[in-house]
Amino acid sequence: MIYLDHNAITPMRPEAVEAVERSLQVFGNPSSVHAAGRAARDLLDASREKVARALGAAPSEIVFASGATEAATMAIRGALAASPPDRQALTVTAVEHPCVLDLATALARAGTPVQVVPVDRQGLPDLEVLHAVVGPETALVCGMLANNETGVLLPVREMAAAAHRAGTLFFCDAVQAVGKIDVDVRTLGADLLALTGQKLGGPRGAGALWIRGGVRLLPIFGGHQERGRRAGTENLPAIAGLAAAVEAALARRPEEEKRLRALRDRLEAGLLAAVPHTHVNGALAERLPGTLSVTFAGADGEALLMALDLEGICASAGAACTSGSTRPSHVLSAMGLTVAEARGTLRLSLGWSTTQAEIEEALAKIPPLVERVRSAIPAVG
């Protein structure tokens, strides 16, 4: 199998597997005061320190959650609930992850003013529009660091500065960025930041929300866990695996970033040379080293995915959480692609386990499959 869907989920790193296995022997509740509970608390504290260190944060600023979706929900709902009645508007970019956009849609239906900032053909937000819509009524601005479909890096520092000039908070979805590029909350400008373990070699079921010291959010009630900010007994095995994966990714990031960029560039150049009428989305913008969004004009993406799967190649048409939807990608639509172009687009994402041999084999198999699908099932829309 050639696995080119790392942006959906990445195979667990050996360090994370080992950490999960060790943690299964630590059965106590971290909130208990007896010896078993103290052992669990020690592991939880050590894991929190590792995640904080990777972000340049203080351990007290890290709140563990079940994943990035919960972390984003905590940030957005918590910020709105903690804001005064005259500051309740929410600003998001048009290319945010569904965990942000779907929540924004639900909030808008309930009466929350929501402003959506458009993006250009490269997937970069219109900063003039952002400056125009963010004002004294805005409670929170949301901007992802790296887009999950195209890999395009958004100008979050400039977006955070615009939010702060208006006296509001900035939330950053850094799910696809942590462990792949430098993410330091001391220089990023964000007030809130979400990450998850499954995107960088950790297990499912653990993520984290970084909350800048002094930022007030309405907590999740029901217990005193996580300093009273998120109730519920912590998922210690998943958290230990998350921390181990973050630590391993951080230690290897410089060389891994260089290696993945070279592999991505080889895959990109090879596909462009071998498959006519093909273009890369966000090609002129700064992108993640291991993400490639490529449009094969005239091809049906779903048919191509099935053909690739039969050849042992795992890829996706976009975000895994929207797989199966009949609608074209909201990210590609926001970037100006037609329905046919969006439906003829694949996301090929690389990760820590990707090898040169896999890339070469993918380059040998993908071009003839594209031509076969183009002839049999052309894209429509």
**Which active-site residues does the annotation give?**
321
Strands annotated E in the chain: 2-3, 62-65, 89-93, 114-117, 138-142, 169-173, 192-196, 207-211, 278-280, 291-296, 313-314, 345-349
Residue 295 makes CB contacts below 8 A (sequence gap 6+) with 278, 279, 280, 281, 332, 337, 341, 342, 344, 345
Residue 381 makes CB contacts below 8 A (sequence gap 6+) with 328, 338, 339, 340, 342, 343
Structure-block tokens of residue 72: 């984003």
Query: Cβ atoms within 10 A of the Cβ of 274, count?
Result: 15
Start-end of H helices in 212-355: 225-228, 236-274, 301-310, 330-334, 339-343
State the amino acid at position 337 in one-letter form: L
Per-position DSSP letters for 279-323, written without gaps between them: EETTTTS-B-TTEEEEEETTB-HHHHHHHHHHTTEE-BSS-GGGT
Contact 334, 118 (CB under 8 A): yes
Using CB atoms within 10 Å of the CB of residue 44, give its burial: 0 to 12 exposed, 13 to 18 middle, 19+ buried. buried
DSSP-derived 3-state class of residue 193: strand
Q: Tell me the β-bridge partners of 142.
A: 92, 171
Dist CA 63 CA 70 (whole Å)? 11
Query: Cβ atoms within 10 A of the Cβ of 166, count?
Result: 19
State the amino acid at position 315 in one-letter form: A
Structure-block tokens of residue 357: 């041999």
Dist CA 50 CA 59 (whole Å)? 8
